[in-house]
Amino acid sequence: MSGPTKRCFNCDDSFQNFRKLTEDERDHVASVVEPEDADSYWRCTHDGCLRVQSYFNYKDGFDLPKSLR
């Protein structure tokens, strides 16, 4: 069930498992990036990490608000 392993800047630039976004997370991402791009963003599963980033480019990402922790 684990997703792809990607580099995460928030986690000391280490490799972490990422998962697809929940509906709430996706809604937030769609309000930040182009809505049609939201489905290409995945979330870091490391404890306490709020980073979402593009599946295709680990440098293209940002933090979710704490309310989505």
Does 30 interact with Zn ion (rule: CB under 5 A)? no
From start to end of the chain, where are the E strands? Answer: 5-8, 14-20, 41-44, 51-54, 61-63
Residues 6+ apart with CB under 8 A from 20: 3, 42, 43
- Judged by CB under 5 A, the residue of 11, 30, 33, 68 near Zn ion is 11
Residues in contact with Zn ion, total (CB under 5 A)? Answer: 8
Pick out residues in 36-65 that bind Zn ion (CB under 5 A): 44, 46, 49, 51
Site of interaction with Zn ion (CB under 5 A) = 8, 10-11, 16, 44, 46, 49, 51
